[in-house]
Amino acid sequence: MAKTKTKFYCTECGYESPKWYGKCPGCQSWNSMVEETVSSSVKTQGMGGMNSSLLQGTQKPLSIVDIEGGQEPRVDTKIGELNRVLGGGMVPGSLILVGGDPGIGKSTLLLQTSHSLAATGLKVLYISGEESVKQTKLRAERLGALSPQLYVLCESNMEQVELAIEQIAPDFLVIDSIQTVYQPDVTSAPGSVSQVRECTARFMRIAKNGGIATVLVGHVTKEGAIAGPRMLEHMVDCVLYFEGERHHTYRILRAVKNRFGSTNEMGIFEMREEGLEEVTNPSELFLSERAMGVSGTTVVASMEGTRPVLVELQALVATTHFPSPRRMGTGIDYNRLNLIIAVLEKRMGLYMQTQDAYVNVAGGVRLDEPAVDLAVAVCIASSVQDKPTRPYDVVFGEIGLTGEVRAVSRAEQRVKEALKLGFKRVILPAKSLKGWKHPQGIELIGVETVSQALKAALE
């Protein structure tokens, strides 16, 4: 009978230890060691011990000058927003990890993608370790995702999954989810560090040697990170996060890692009864319920990758009832909000030491770029002075600590998006006016300081 013992693994870096540490010796993370049961008579096969015919590689080292170049071939998923985030389409042989909160729509998105690819004649294998084939069929009927080239299997044993892949020889493979798949030779439970690491390594070799585009669905922790070892994200080619508020119907797909494209792109979907529907014009969507002639609101032009997005910013400044005023930002960085308030107090003379400040990005979007600084400052000043901004103004620019307004990138695309949606004026950094042809039909106001911007916006 095999002797069993326990080992401790770091969920961040995979460091292995016979005893528990409060601080991982490998990556210095606190409280990241978890206990797992292992068998001394079993050796994990790793990436080098795979027996499947798909996994046997016979490649020899080549000189880099002898390797054929060119662009990676792309497969159109027929879903424009997904193509945008992936960098133009699905790359054969790529390994993609999709994470998101429970019920956010990960399985729905992948089932729709599977149907779109199967409708073009590609073989698609959808393996679910959490739902039965009947449950998957019910969702597919609701989504209208029924195709003879779409094969469904309910299995979590890695060896059985490999046999199914050999039998079907799919062009596109979905594993829902990686935390449910287990390797029988590894004695720890499914979802543990060693199981996730071993199974992901096998899927990586299957994808690379078989040229199969593979998508792994990953669970997330309560902090929002993908569960399992951190090396899981290092092993895959692309990491996508599916985000959204439960009280909003809009979902945002972001790439935080992409070896075949940009990590700045964003795809926007709307969850409906018949599934996820693409939002081709997010600016018009986010501005559809905007209030006119109210203080503390303005429109900012933000860039999400190569796409300009116009979003409404709202601010509310009210007298505080606490010894220290509250600062709260939804959709923007909290530290950046404090910095902008400090600049307004020091450089603009706005007294806010007895005022609570609340800033919100309408629509549930998160804006991380510095170009939204000037719009935040205009919103706060408008609420403090109780002066409404013009309803057809767009504001963007970065604020420095001395009160100057710094230039931002892609000013031309932001202005064109504002013109397309019918805005009349754009307040932007003066240095961003150089080097491009200004379009007709919209007034551009270049400012060098925050005081100039407030004067132009609140006059």
CATH at residue 347: 3.30.230.10
First and final C-alpha spacing in the chain? 84
The annotated binding site for ATP is made up of 100-107
Within a domain: 57: no
What are all long-range contacts of 269-274, with beta carbons under 8 Å and residues at least 24 apart? 269/81, 269/105, 269/109, 271/105, 271/108, 271/244, 273/142, 274/142, 274/143, 274/144
pLDDT tens-digit map of 130-182: 899 999 999 999 999 999 999 999 999 999 999 999 999 999 999 998 999 99
Question: CA 139 to CA 162: how far, in whole Å?
Answer: 25
270 and 300: one domain? no
* Integer Cα distance of 105 and 82 in angstroms: 13
Are residues 312 and 265 located together in one domain of the fold? Answer: no
Q: Are 171 and 29 members of one domain?
A: no
Binding residues: 100-107
CA 354 – CA 324 distance, rounded (Å): 7
CB proximity list for 417: less than 8 A, separation 6 or greater: 283, 301, 308, 309, 310
Query: Which pLDDT does position 44 carry in this prediction?
Result: 43
> What letters, b where the CB count within 10 A reaches 16 and e where it falls short, cover 84-95?
bbbbbbbbbbbb
User: Is residue 65, in this structure, part of any structural domain at all?
Assistant: no
Same domain for 216 and 132: yes
pTM: 0.76
Q: What is the mean pLDDT of residues 356-360?
A: 95
Least confident range from 90-104, 146-160, 210-224, 383-397: namely: 210-224
Dihedral Cα 122, 128, 131, 136, nearest 10 deg:
0
Query: Considering only 15-19, 67-71, 405-409, which range has the smallest mean pLDDT?
Result: 67-71
Place of tokens 């509310």: 316
Q: What is the total count of domains within the chain? A: 3
Instruction: Look up residue 1 and give its two tokens.
Output: 């009978």
Q: Match 């003879």 to its residue by tokens.
A: 148
Which residue range(s) make up the domain with 351?
285-457
Considering the domain architecture, whether residues 129 and 251 belong to the same structural domain is answered as yes
**Quick one: pLDDT at residue 11?**
79
Confidence of residue 38 (pLDDT cuts 50, 70, 90): low
| Identity at 111, one-letter amino acid code | L
- Same domain for 337 and 192, yes or no, is no
Rounded-to-5 percentages of helix, strand, coil across the chain = 30, 30, 45
- Compute the Cα dihedral for 278, 284, 289, 295 and give only its sign: positive
The verdict on 315 and 373 lying in the same domain is yes
| pLDDT, tens only, 255-290 | 999 998 888 788 989 888 889 999 888 888 788 888
Domain boundary among 278, 307, 336: 278
- Statement to judge: residues 113 and 255 lie in one domain: yes
